[in-house]
Amino acid sequence: MILYEDPKIRGIESKLKKARIIQGYTQESLSELSGVNIKSIASYEQNPIKLNAASVSTVIKLADALGCEIEDIINKDKLEEN
């Protein structure tokens, strides 16, 4: 998934939010597709490190709904901080 060249996402820190916007989903539609609570999605987008601490099944559900790899939505360089 190409996330970094699209002007719609320039300046957005959250990889999850970038992927969601690229796919054209709202937080609500991503919640429905993934089965992940909308409040959790909002929280992960506001504080991307929280997604790194989420359960593996949650991250997989989000990546599957977005049609991307887990690495496309988490910050691997921040994993050691959790």
Q: According to the model, what pLDDT value does residue 78 have?
A: 61
Domain assignment present for 6: no
Q: Name the domain count of the chain.
A: 1
Domain assignment present for 48: yes
Residue 28: which domain range? 13-77
Burial state string for 11-21 with b = 16 or more CB within 10 A and e = fewer than 16: ebebbbbbbbb
Q: Do 62 and 16 touch, CB atoms closer than 8 A?
A: yes
Domain assignment present for 68: yes
Domain assignment present for 82: no
Mean pLDDT by 10 residues, the chain (82 residues): 64 91 96 98 95 95 97 78 46
The answer to whether the Cα torsion of 27, 33, 37, 40 is positive or negative is negative
Domain assignment present for 3: no
CATH code, domain with 62 = 1.10.260.40
